Amino acid sequence: MREVDHGDVRTPVRHVARPANPRISVVVPVRNEARNLEIVLPALVRAVPSVHEVIVVDGHSSDDSVAAARAALPWVRVITQSRRGKGNAMACGFAGATGDVLVMLDADGSADPAEIPAFVAALVAGTDFAKGSRFVPGGGSEDITWLRKTGNLGLNGVANTLFGTSYTDLCYGYNAFWADLLPLLELPAVDAPASEGEMLWGDGFEIETVLNCRVAAAGVKIVEVPSMERHRIHGQSNLRTFADGSRVLRTLIAEYRRAQAHLAPFERLAPAHRHSAAPNLALAPAAARS
């Protein structure tokens, strides 16, 4: 595991007491993933038999995703998202979760549930946000193309410059974090209205970048956990290399402006000067990967 440097600590997190054996809530956003859920949900329970709850957030699927989820895991909790977009689905799942730790797991089979214990171990060892990375030792990808890898490298550079971080894999969405961080993330309220056909900021695929920016801006402890990205089992990916890359870049700029707006006037400095403008809190050592 790898600690993420970010000396730009603005608002130290005040933690409540956290359990050594946390209840794990796994949030799975779903839209037309029936065939994949038949495989992913049983694999999840085999990998983490003590999981507290599995929450499938349905994005108004037109296939049998909900029925497939209940057939594969009879005790699964199913929530219908309030608006549309992956970000809104995640926010709905987070809002409904009752566990101590929240795990984000895609339904397409690309994320290996067997890695969840490593994410949780990092949290229990003292970190706040455990971020999956395909580009640290032990990680990898069966799916990423040369073009996407190059784009991700460039976007990492932009994020690290703006937020003073050392991320290696900005665009990967396999993450876990303590539920008490939710107020810091300030995600759109699940009951907030949206115009017909519109999404609120944070409702779409920008959600992973939004989360990574906001935990960095908040100064929480972050550890990157090695993760192996697999091929999608069934169906086709919704990723669009250039369109989604542009969306991530716009998100980075918007989130940087948002973070700057939260600073006192004397703290609004260029990224290169931030380390001298704010206290540097040491990161907790990460547990060895099991």
Whether 16 maps to a domain, the answer reads no
Whether 260 maps to a domain, the answer reads no
Whether 243 maps to a domain, the answer reads no
pLDDT of residue 269: 40
Whether 272 maps to a domain, the answer reads no
Q: Is residue 168 within 8 Å of 133, Cβ to Cβ?
A: yes
pLDDT of residue 245: 59
pLDDT of residue 198: 73
Whether 250 maps to a domain, the answer reads no
pLDDT of residue 237: 58
pLDDT of residue 112: 96
pLDDT tens figures, 194-231: 776 677 778 777 888 999 999 999 999 999 999 999 99
Report how far residue 275's alpha carbon sits from residue 272's, in angstroms, rounded to the nearest whole number: 7
| Residue 187 structural domain | 22-231
Closest CA to 258 of 200, 213, 212, 197: 213
pLDDT of residue 240: 53
- Domain total of the chain: 1
Residues of the chain with pLDDT under 50: 7-12, 241, 265-290
Whether 259 maps to a domain, the answer reads no
CATH assignment at residue 66:
3.90.550.10
Report how far residue 70's alpha carbon sits from residue 72's, in angstroms, rounded to the nearest whole number: 5
Whether 114 maps to a domain, the answer reads yes
With a CB cutoff of 8 Å and minimum separation 6, the contacts of 30 are 37, 56, 57, 58, 59, 61, 65, 69, 89, 107
